[in-house]
Amino acid sequence: MPHFEEGTTLDRFLLDTMRARPGATGQLVTLLKQVALAGKLVNARVQRAGLAGMLGAVGGMNIQGEYVQKLDVYANDTFKRALEHAGVCCMIVSEEDEEQMLIPADYEAGEYIFSMDPLDGSSNIDTNASIGTIFGIHRKVSAGRDGAPADVLRAGRELVCAGYVLYGAGTMLVLSTGAGVHGFTLDPSVGEFFLSHLDIRLQPSTRAYSCNEAYSAQWDPRLQAWLAGLKEPSLGWSARYIGSLVGDFHRNLVKGGVFLYPPTAKARQGKLRMLYEAQPLAFLAEAAGGAASDGHMPILDKVPTSLHERSPLYIGNAEAVARIVEVLNS
């Protein structure tokens, strides 16, 4: 990989790294540039979300007479619009849409499939806490112009790229093509993402856990016992939970920690989706030296059988994930 310094623009980083890839057509660079553009557009709306009451209630008209969309609908539309005409995707799948979207006939189709949770953590929009767009990118394997579900119903290890845009106190684009995880921070004064976190490594032994502990009585009793054991003060564990997977994952990626969303009585397969949440973040976790499991096998080895399939998720420090798997299989 070429040598980069902090402050490198996202565009230069993409051009220099992707050009070096064997057989590169340039489509992935274009795709990621469009992701950055959509991320900036969504970010602009997220920044004004608190003003929705003044500028017009969601679902109503603002003072310019424009229809004010819900932010998650806006994010879904914005990413799709940024990608459909760029000649880089042959299918887009979204947590917000029941069915996959194919590229309209008047645009050229490309070789990639983009899967996304357009606005993860959407219950946090009103609280000004971190939310984000999570995405995974597959290369098409099926024949013909259009993508097909079989192109994404594959093991997460076959992802070409995964990442997220985090709309938080600052706005970041974090991505990996398998070789390291890199973070770019948006400088709002110039509207560019700059490399700020080169080769992020998941700290192996940091003691922080992120989960909705209110559900713990519904968990597997072995997991409950593990959690109770962490509370021994001499072990030095802390709890950190925002309730936005993307925000919790990012915190743990940068500072160390483990996130868990086990099955509950209401959600027998957990709540999180394989294609839009578990697989992309597992791809990043492993590329940063961490791990992700469903409690029995690595997330990246699981093959989903439907677009919206859910999975239990244990993700973060390799050591902590391994311990959870051990506990669940004891």
Q: Which residues in this chain contact Mg ion in the complex, by CB under 5 A?
A: 117, 120
DSSP H or E segment with residue 30: helix 27-47
CB of 182 to Mg ion, least distance (A): 22
> Which residues between 243 and 272 bind ligand AHM (CB under 6 A)?
243-245, 261, 271
Rounded Cα distance between 271 and 72, Å, is: 18
The residues with which 260 forms a beta bridge, in sequence order, are 314
Restricting to residues 206-225, name those near ligand AHM by CB under 6 A: 212
- The answer to whether 207 and 285 have CB atoms below 8 angstroms apart is no
122 binds, among ligand AHM, Mg ion, none (CB under 5 to 8 A by kind): ligand AHM
- The verdict on 47 binding ligand AHM (CB under 6 A) reads no
- Residue 117 or 248 with smaller CB distance to Mg ion: 117
Q: Does 319 bind ligand AHM (CB under 6 A)?
A: no
- Looking at the DSSP assignment, which residues form a beta bridge with residue 113? 91, 138
Residues 62-121 that bind ligand AHM (CB under 6 A): 117, 120-121
Angle at 294 between CA 289 and CA 300, to 5 degrees: 50
Which residue number, 74 or 261, has a Cβ lying nearer to ligand AHM? 261
- Paired with 117 in beta bridges are 134
- The distance of closest approach from Cβ of residue 116 to Mg ion in the complex, given in angstroms and rounded to an integer, is 10
Bridge partner residues of 298 (DSSP):
293
Q: Find the shortest distance in angstroms from Cβ 187 to ligand AHM.
A: 26
Of 175, 167, 162, the closest CA to residue 127 belongs to: 167
Q: Please say whether the beta carbons of 317 and 206 come within 8 A.
A: yes
* Residues 170/186, Cβ–Cβ less than 8 Å: yes
CB 238 within 8 A of CB 197: no
Which of Mg ion, ligand AHM, none interacts with 271 (beta carbon under 5 to 8 A by kind)? ligand AHM
Tokens 């940091």 belong to residue: 206
* Cβ contact 329:178 at 8 Å: no
Partner touching 243 among ligand AHM, Mg ion, none, CB below 5 to 8 Å by kind: ligand AHM
Amino acid at 272: L
- CB-wise, 120 or 248, nearer to Mg ion? 120
Q: Which of 34, 76, 122, 177 binds ligand AHM (CB under 6 A)?
A: 122
Backbone torsions φ then ψ of 57, nearest 5 degrees: -70, 150
Query: Whose Cβ is closer to ligand AHM: residue 30's or residue 115's?
Result: 115
Show the binding pattern over residues 153-192: x = contacts ligand AHM (CB under 6 A), - = does not.
----------------------------------------
Output the smallest distance, CB 244 to ligand AHM, in A. Answer: 5
Cβ proximity to ligand AHM: between 80 and 271 the closer is 271
- Kindly tell me which of 17 and 210 has the beta carbon lying closer to Mg ion: 210
Decide which of Mg ion, ligand AHM, none touches 112; Cβ closer than 5 to 8 Å per partner kind: none
* Smallest separation, CB 132 to ligand AHM (Å): 9
Residues facing residue 195 across a β-bridge: 184
Number of residues that bind ligand AHM (CB under 6 A): 11
DSSP secondary structure, 179-202, as one string = S--EEEEEETTTTEEEEEE-S---
Residue 17: half-sphere exposure toward Cβ, Cα within 13 Å: 23
Size (the chain), residues? 330
| In the complex, minimum distance from the CB of residue 245 to ligand AHM, in angstroms, rounded to a whole number | 3
The residues binding ligand AHM (CB under 6 A) are 117, 120-123, 212, 243-245, 261, 271
